[in-house]
Chain A
Amino acid sequence: MARPKILVVDDDPDLVRALRLRLRANNYEVTTATDGYTAIAAAQKERPALIILDLGLPVGDGFVVLDRLQTIDSLSSIPIIVLSARDPQSNEERALKAGAAAFFQKPADNDELMNVIRVSLSPGQQQQMAPWPS
């Protein structure tokens, strides 16, 4: 079975390298982008199963990327995990409202992060939404 592909968007090369090592060890394939503009292009080209997104990016910050991704039909259903140094008190709600599935503040607990990735990618999550009770 093909390994799920994760797109990591962050301009900190050290962090990206460490994250790539860890994700690969957990059996994920990794592709990267270092700014907002190339992030969208990469998402369209690579069709990742999940995106890990930093907020403080050059050329269009994370929120711009979030908004843009929501407007592109083929990309709007990709789960996005925001991984940012910014303070959750003012940013988490905004990120979740903009479509992110989760918000982690750096440095994130590795186990928790891996867990949320795993859950977001598990087959049950891709199901159609449950109907409203009448």
Chain B
Amino acid sequence: MDQPTTQVLLIEDNPGDADLVRLRLVEGKSPVNVNCVNRLADGLAALSKELPSVVLLDLNLPDSHGAETFRRVLEHSPNVPVVVLSGQDDEALAAKAIHQGAQDYLIKGNISSKHLERAIRYAVERQALLRALEVTQKQQLEFKNQFLSHVSHELRTPLTCIHQYVTLLLDGLAGPLVPDQGDHLKTVLKSVNQLHAMIRDLLEATRAESGKLRVEPRCIALGELMQQTVAMLRPTANEKQIGLEIGLDQRLPLVHADPDRVLEVLINLVDNAIKFTPPEGAVMLQASMVEADPDSVYVAVSDTGRGISPEAKTLIFERLYQDGDSIDNNRSGLGLGLFICKEIVKLHQGRIWVSSEPGQGSIFTFTLPVYSLAKLLAPVVIYQNQLRPSFVLVRVELTPLTSPPRGNWKETWRQCLETLRHCVYLDKDLVLPPMGAAGTAETFYVVASTDLQQSGVMTARIREQLERVMDLQSKCTVTISAVPIELPAAQAGESLERQVQTLAECVSEMILKNMDRKQFCVPKAPGSN
């Protein structure tokens, strides 16, 4: 019977050992083809050219030692089964390799051909099994998420019906209501809104898990979002006679984050705090800087509630974790809130954690990146270790024709931003993240590495492309202008970093002054840093 030939890659630098292994392989019953190399680099090259059925790997090679050898092979070709060839004294190391993903190990000097053949077959089968398992897991996750999306979609229909008719009654559209009837209906409406929130959470958590959650970072002031949160939740806090306060560090820098998502996190954390704090307790929302970490803003929500047990602390950020009894049992929700918060914070490259002891309240803290124009500019304004020769600030202003704006304004400006990004050279121009919370009248800025004359080409392209954005003319007027950025002459010995910082400061000043077509940036007097 014809058996397929097993391709073996033998990475072994000791010629004696290599010959012995080769001999044993050939002695075996099944056909093998052996490729032998004596350096890791050659082994990796062979793997790049063609994947063998199995790799026999000596861990100690001229260009790599021990666990590092295996790690590099695994990194390079994660799907090829590896059998480690270990010396008599290296058994512990070989065992460690198995732990890290090798399929098997053999001790040199003790290898019979039957032994070798079996080890190879076993390694190949085991690897195939592992891969099949991975595929199944991925499929199951995909199926689960699709199922949850489908379920949350289906639940909306009856929910909508209930919502419609309850609001109809409450709005008096089916006749006047007796006060008690109104109260009862309001109670129903509260549950409807809860259900709605649960469905939304379910969908959001599912999206977060499938990697489909999106954040659109803007340059925002946290203080506004915190005040919004407190305003929204104050009625709930008052109902329970819980004090709700804000503490803001005076000179808090702007952060680079998605305002809608951050608001979601804030609301989640403060709402939780209120839920788990007994009446006459207090909840505090604070934002501050930490000296040891100047690139982040720290936001903390603290409460005088029951605290969290050490076992629960590691679990609360997982999905569906519900604490036994919240103070109000009828407001428990699905237990997805903290999971969603964690995912959102992760998407902003931030961290979230809790410090708490039972009976001593809790403090939930998360970080958000500080908005640094200099950091965003650096990659595009530096070329061959120097600042590029000239820059122009292009301003694109969208003013809706009607108030409130027609159609979905958020979608409109988002499309414009996307279009703008396609009009610039990504390696030399920067489209600034939008400023402030998305309102009406959006203004976008581009720092372009060019001169005023050349910038005309860019502005013409922007105008042409924006015209193509669906129906834009019926929704808003577009004003495009460009102004050269006047920088003070670089001082002798000034670091590149400092020059970029100066550019960033100049741009920020121009933007703050709400420049129009005729205004020019007033250059700083030399030496007046």
Residues of A within 8 A of B (CB): 12, 14-15, 18-19, 21-22, 25, 85-87, 89, 92-93, 96-97, 101-103, 105-107, 110, 115, 119-120, 124-125, 129-130, 132-133
Pair A107/B160 contact, Cβ less than 8 Å: yes
Q: Which residues of A contact B164 (CB under 8 A)?
A: 14-15, 18-19, 22, 107
For the complex, give the distance between the alpha carbons of A106 and B159 in Å: 9
Given A110-B167, A124-B402, A133-B478, check contact A14 B161 (CB 8 Å): yes
Task: Assess the A130–B402 pair: CB atoms within 8 A.
Answer: no
List of A residues within 8 angstroms of B192 by Cβ: 107
Main secondary structure of the interface of B (DSSP, over half): helix
Q: Are A107 and B473 in contact (CB under 8 A)?
A: no
Which residues of chain B have a CB within 8 Å of any CB of chain A?
Answer: 149, 153, 156-157, 159-161, 163-165, 167-168, 171, 173-174, 192, 196, 203, 207, 212, 214, 401-402, 404, 406-408, 411, 463, 467, 470, 473-474, 477-479
Does more than half of chain A's interface fall in helix, strand or loop, or is it mixed? helix
Judging by beta carbons under 8 Å apart, are A119 and B168 in contact? no
Residue of A15, A25, A96 near B160 (CB, 8 A) is: A15
Q: Is the CB of A96 within 8 A of B470?
A: yes
How far is A124 from B192 in the complex, measured between Cα atoms in Å?
A: 37
Contact A93 B411, beta carbon cutoff 8 Å: yes
The residues of B that contact A107 with a CB separation of less than 8 Å are: 156, 159-160, 163-164, 192, 196
The answer to whether B406 touches A12 (Cβ under 8 A) is no
19 A-B contacts (beta carbon < 8 Å): A14-B164, A15-B161, A18-B161, A18-B165, A22-B168, A22-B171, A85-B153, A85-B157, A87-B149, A89-B207, A89-B212, A96-B408, A106-B159, A107-B163, A119-B404, A129-B474, A132-B463, A132-B467, A132-B478
Residue of B nearest to A103 (CB): B408
The residue from A12, A21, A89, A124 contacting B173, defined by CB atoms under 8 A apart: A21
Shortest C-beta distance, A121 to chain B (Å), equals 11
A107-B163, A130-B473 known; 13 other A-B pairs, CB under 8 Å?
A14-B165, A21-B173, A92-B411, A96-B408, A97-B470, A101-B406, A101-B407, A102-B407, A102-B408, A106-B156, A106-B157, A107-B164, A107-B196
CA distance A125 to B171 in the complex (A): 29
Q: Which residue of B lies closest to A105 (CB)?
A: B156
For B161, give its contact among A12, A97, A115 (CB under 8 Å): A12
Please state if B406 and A125 are interface contacts (CB–CB under 8 Å).
yes
- Listed from nearest, the 5 A-B pairs whose CB atoms lie closest are A18-B164, A107-B163, A85-B156, A107-B160, A106-B160
Say whether B406 contacts A120, CB under 8 Å.
yes
- Chain B residues in 8 Å Cβ range of A15: 160-161, 164
| A115 CA / B407 CA spacing, docked (Å) | 11
Complex: chain A residue closest to B411, CB-CB: A96
Neighbouring A residues of B470 by C-beta, 8 Å: 96-97
**Are A92's CB and B408's CB within 8 A?**
yes
A residues in contact with B153, CB < 8 Å:
85-87
Residues in chain A near residue B196, CB distance under 8 A = 107
Taking A18-B164, A87-B149, A97-B470 as contacts, is the C-beta distance between A125 and B402 under 8 angstroms? yes
Min CB–CB distance A48 → chain B (angstroms): 18
Q: Which residue among A18, A19, A87, A89 has the maximum number of chain B CB atoms within 10 Å of its CB?
A: A18
| CB-defined contacts of A93 to chain B, threshold 8 Å | 411
Query: Chain B residues near A97 (CB, 8 Å)?
Result: 470
Please, how many angstroms separate the alpha-carbon atoms of A15 and B159 in the complex?
A: 11
Q: Are B407 and A87 in contact (CB under 8 A)?
A: no
Measured CB to CB, the nearest residue on chain B to A131 is B473
Chain A residues whose CB sits within 8 angstroms of the CB of B474 once the complex forms = 129
